[in-house]
Amino acid sequence: MAASNEKIPTAKTPAGWEFTITRVFDAPRALVFEMWTKPEHLVRWWGPTGITMPVCEVDFRVGGALRFVFRGPDGKEHRAEGIYREIVVPERIVFISTLHFVPGDEVRTTVTFTEHDGKTTLTLHRIHSVESDATKGEPAGWSQVLDKLAAALANR
* Beta pairing, strands 92-99 & 106-116: antiparallel
pLDDT in tens, the chain (156 residues): 444 444 444 444 555 689 999 999 999 999 999 999 999 999 999 999 999 999 999 999 999 999 999 999 999 999 999 999 999 999 999 999 998 777 788 999 999 999 999 999 999 999 988 777 766 778 889 999 999 999 999 998
Burial of 31 (0-12, 13-18, 19+ CB in 10 A): middle
Which residue ranges form the domains of the chain, and what is each CATH number?
10-47+86-154 (3.30.530.20)
